[in-house]
Structure 1
Amino acid sequence: MPKPPKPKLPMHALVAAIVVLLQFSQPCFARTRNKHCTPTVCGNVTISYPFRLTSQPPHCGDSPFELHCDSSNRTVLASYNGRFYVQNISYERNTVRAIDPNLAVDDCSLPRGSLSFWDNINMHRNLPYSLNFMFTSMYLVNCSKPVNSSSYIDASRCSVNSSGSNPPPDLYVYFLDERTHPRDFDESCKIEALVPIMVQDINDLLTPDIYNLLKQGFEFSWIFPSKSLQATPFRAMVRNLKYALQSYADSFIYYLFKGPHIANNSYYPPNSTYILCLLITGGFIISRTLPGLVCLIVLVIYKWRRRHLSADDAIEEFLKRQKDLMPIRYSYSEIERMSNGFKDKLGEGGYGSVFKGKLRSGYFVAIKLLGKSNGNGQDFINEVATIGRIHHVNVAKLIGFCVEGSKQALVYDFMSNGSLDRILFAKENKIDLSWTKMFDIALGVARGIEYLHRGCDMQILHFDIKPHNILLDENFTPKVADFGLAKLFSRDDSIVNITAARGTIGYIAPELIYKNLGGISYKADVYSFGMLLMEIIGRRKNMNTSVEHESQKYFPSWIYDRYYHGEDVDLGDVVDDEKIMVKKMVIIASWCVQVKPNDRPSMSKVLEMFETNVELLQMPRQPFQLPFEVPTANNSIKDRSYDSSTGETSTLLYSSNEISIDIL
């Protein structure tokens, strides 16, 4: 009598076995990584594995638990969108208690930090422990008008602010439960933070009760596997594999035969039933192999086409990883309704088109409808990942976004005065601003760039500073916008790795083209700001072939020569104070456009120069002189645009000697 065929193992059981093996092959090594590190102390907090200070070697702890000891000797835990003071770490109970810095002082400050560092935990799957969060979260929302709803709890800590004056009438802050559905958000409200709190439900609490809980901080714990499990990873793997197979068989039998399925009962079907279950499963899998293979090929082709026709998959995956996004996600139908069917077009560029829109609250917005996405949705991801988490008076505010297949849109505050290039280069309906106002615009742009470089947990390099990307509100306050080429780097990275030139010809830094000039860093944005500042001074394009005199074609070289040799410049009917402002901007711009990155100031130094007496500022020497010669075919200067997404041939001017550089 032939032997019956051996039952075949279901495919997903094999996958489960591999996952279990990978999970239990790590812990023993991970627990010994810090055996040569001694505990350290910051304030009254002892730091030991799995935590470490930024000053300690990487093997002394895990990167998601990196702590910082600030100048006040306070232990700081930093997440992507917030900072928290660590009050206590208990290594006996494996717990951490922390508090928002704004709550550590007794004033009117609101909690601003969003705790999102567990995203780092999910990115490090080989960590030998898991996290247990003992808190929930609630939204802190900022509304432009009062909201009459029982779910909106007033978040104001006191009736007057720290300066003793009443808060502005157009500012209202509320707490909302994190389970609030997006459709229940009032149109006049924007999410400012996702605040951790040690309570399950805030709906029945009053404002003082909430702040009493917040002042106590919040806790989370880390849990290591048991010692027996660490000592015998093979047994743990076998036990987990057996449990997975048994659970699968029980579920299958219950579905197929409606038999017993009681988790804590000692009764189970006989072994023959399990064998029958596995035989049926194996036969089913074999009979479906060919159709399944066909389906797999169709699925792969579909995925490939979808990735090349739209960036939906990459963007959706990115959005799932972000637990602290401030903007609101809108549906495409809501975007159409806001824009009144995309009737009022404000402008158009390589990224797509911009339309004027209006929220239900009456608040005007600008809707950027993205065209063909670059790099699998990278433009969209760059913009949301950077501008979606920051807030500064000189950085454009992202209100919301939309992703539905290939349809992508970004919703911004409406800037009634458009972009700076319309002020500088418009031939019709030109707005003539005073030198004082132009100086304020230049100073505001500098503050916005300096905030991107130093004001965030991550260093944000814009790589496309130019007048077109500087927006002006009704008071002509400048806002740095368009982060499609932006990159995020650690603030410890003095040099960053960029594989291709990024930016717009005429503003792009020389080191992005000539690798021997030095590494690429935040000094690239400084160069672009210098070229923008030159255009503010001249109120014209830096390269203008229509001027009468040959020497005036390249404005940065011409204006530098005039001031360097002490010659007067005709600025029209201006007062002496305005002449001083222009001279100061010329000196600052000349320093910023130095060819070598090391010769340029940081944006912090640029702000100091704006505040310094002009008599104390020195004009640099030959800011446009390249350290080598590049032959040219003729003496004419070419001025063509460059599309960084296509890499088309373009011509770039960097020196007063009319040097042209072709990018291939």
Structure 2
Amino acid sequence: MAVTRASAIFPLLLLLLLLLHLLSSGLAAARQDCPPFSCGQLRDVENPFRRKDDPALCGEPTYQLSCDANRSTFRIGSTDYSVTQISYENSTFRLVDPNFANGSCGLPAQPLSLTNQSTAGLMCYYSSVWASFMNCSEAIQNDTQYHLLSCLSHKDRWFVYVIVDLDADELFDLHPGCKYLSMIPVAGDAFGYYDPPSSSIDPFSILQKGFDCILSSGLAAARQDCPPFSCGQLRDVENPFRRKDDPALCGEPTYQLSCDANRSTFRIGSTDYSVTQISYENSTFRLVDPNFANGSCGLPAQPLSLTNQSTAGLMCYYSSVWASFMNCSEAIQNDTQYHLLSCLSHKDRWFVYVIVAADADELGYLHPGCEYLSMIPVAYDAFGYYDPPSSSIDPFSILQKGFDCNIPGRPPHWKSKVIHQCLNESISMFSGLTRSYHILTVVSNLVRSELHFASCVNNYYFSGTFTSWSTYHSSIYRITVVVIVLIQIVQLLIVLFILGRFVVAPIALFVFLAHKLWVSLASVDAVEKFLRAQQMLTPTRYAYTDIVAITRHFRQKLGQGGFGSVFKGELAGGLLVAVKLLGNSNCNGDEFISEVATIGRIHHVNVVRLVGYCAEGSKRALVYEYMPNGSLDKYIFSSRATIFTSEKLIDIARGIHYLHRGCDMQILHFDIKPHNILLDRTFTPKISDFGLAKLYPKGNSLVSVSAARGTVGYIAPELISRSFGIISHKSDVYSFGMLLLEMAGRRRNVDPRAQNSSQVYYPSWIYDKLTTIRRQQEIQLDDTIEIEESEKKLSVVGLWCIQIKPSERPTMAKVMEMLEADASSLPIPPKPFFSSVDSSTSQTKTCLTSSSAQLSIISE
């Protein structure tokens, strides 16, 4: 049976070997089809480099070149660097930043630090020499390391410097008032290895030489020549760690160790930390602060917060547990989290405390009167996950154990290990924080522990130097965030259910009962309001002291008119009013009261209601309902004129018609103009200002006045001279027609600034256009004039209203019919002008120069 099985397996093994041989032969043949090539000024370029159109098996995608006639470029991130040379012997190739290619002044096209993600898959810090650029608020004196870049500086406002040195990338010697701008590696042979240039050398001539990157094949070969080594008490130390005198390709500069007989140290910033252990399995190494190495009392040699620049390129907050030191002006009682450091305190003058906890770095525990001193991470296994040490434990015995930093490379099994570890930490954190089962406390602690879980996963997987894991970290972190968001949504639904059951439901029931009570009382209030409203329908006579109280001593002035000033006021019931305080009046007091009483009986939606009046001695005042949107003249010539449709104009006409025919006595307004058309909250127009109005019986066809009444531009001709006809309600029709023409043209009827003399007087100009359109049956005559349907209708109706003879003008009832009709059905009226355009223009300009808006009295 065994022989049979062996004989069956043997042919399969032969077939497998044959396939492997064919595969290797095909791959070798494919490689032979990739001959050396030229790229720009480079010759004999070969693997691992490739061009964009080369076969897929030629070269490596990471080392793709772009070739021009005399230039080859290599892309890192979003920047194309010039490739000046390739050394297969040294396994390096040299790149030059495009901003320094000609030795010109500038900053690097992009930062190329150790932690920069754009250098993924490359090692471009071959020489360990760097050029760091910084911006300073003041000039730096007596420091030859700082090279002033005058071309980038600005007199006394800012100063740009560059440091070219071995450790220029660490930035711990940064002067006060200076901020980091950018950095870039420098070729080791640019000025001699590790011999910084003197102050007399131009830094840009050094940067013009570029920097070296290592080929993947050369890096792999060089690593084989870097055997494990011992350093102090540590054994079998290997990549990424290195010693100072190791070959350049051994290890990484960030992980350089200093070795003594029985001690190995690692420098962060300006401090040498003892390295007590290295765990390649967990990808961590442990450091001990020199001030805590012997368990002695003191402060950290330097703060190591999350944002501290001295930890650039490292991840030394592995456990998320911190020790924060603070100085307090008085002793803290009954708080076991605060551990008094008697060795650093001074009797009753100051007290130094330390907190060792999961979120001690957030300083949320800071008491009033305490100031932050320093902080340092703590090893996660120093006292167990989130089990803070009791007051009897010496904090320095915990700090003596040190803290962990990550090293490059993580084994695949970290995924489940990290999730499990972060979950345990979050559960322990929730248990430690929850000391009462109040609902708000539980919810708050749940949120904090979940946020800590996301932060923990992010901290474990995130490290700027481990670029090959960036995609892996990103996907894990995104999944973690999605899970936490879903948990938060479920918790929110639970909280909303609890609140709805025990909080919202009782409140809703209370509101419902209160509403029912309010509705039952509202019917009683409605009757009372109706009676008050009926009382307010007739004008009320106020004393002058009432007027002062209503206007609050005339505090808010709304405007100034020809008859006096207008102030905003408020009645006792909360009704807003406009109080017109009239100037010295020459009319008889009885006539004033009689006229007010007559106008006070007018109740129409398009007429401003007279609420009250005051006639006390020489003091006169009229109280009208308040119109919040002002008068029509504020909108008629603006872009908001479109809100005034034909319906709004019909409302104005309806109000004028009511004055003429809707009352016991016909009321002639004699001053219809945009300024006297007020607008309420909904822009409903209301006629106001009856200061010039006269009351006559409806049967009277002749109206006698002793003076011309109205405003220039709106006054009817018969009010100026009786030769044009008798004064009647047609005088208001003329004024309304002028208002329609202004609405149609959205300009003053007389505009001396018009480009053409024919356009100065709008009624004449629009009449000519309408007659021409009617003759030619066209809507548009030329490229500059366009008459819309709405403008055409308003113009035709307006021209009918401003006929010279009153008998040829329509009544307000007819005007309303015309406004409701189509423009095409309206006939063109006779030309309503008795003089030529030029004479009309001249006469109009003469009228405009008059210093008074009101006409003088004309004797009959």
- TM interval, shorter chain, is 0.3 to 0.5
Query: Which structure: larger Rg?
Result: 2
TM-score by structure 1 length?
Answer: 0.46
Whose RCO is larger (CA < 8 A, sep 6+)? 1
